Amino acid sequence: MPTKYPNGMRSTQWRRTPFRIRHRLLAFAINNALGHWRSCADRRCRRARGCQDHECYWRRLEQMTYEEQMRMREAAAPLAKLLWIGCIKGSEGRPRF
């Protein structure tokens, strides 16, 4: 049964995961859900058929126009909302998806 959290985590596990690790796991999940590994410049991602570097999302976003960035952020919004579940501290100054 699939869960709504990345890596098959349950709600309690997700809430106990530190913010920085959550941020990284969500970047992997967004890249894999949107299929970005298919056209990734990094060979490791294409070979593994999944994102291998959490920075892929940000590199891809930098190269897009503003309209494309907004379209991608809308597609990633449901996963990005998971970042703030159970979050008390550690999110100051971190870029959002």
**Rounded to 5°, angle at Cα 59 from 47 and 69:** 115
Domain-by-domain residue ranges, the chain? 22-83
For 37-91, the pLDDT digits (tens) are: 777 777 887 788 877 777 777 788 888 899 988 888 888 888 888 877 766 655 5
For 20-37, the pLDDT digits (tens) are: 888 888 888 888 888 777
**Rounded to 5°, angle at Cα 70 from 67 and 73:** 150
User: Would you say the pTM of this structure is higher than 0.85?
Assistant: no
- Give the per-residue pLDDT at 7: 80
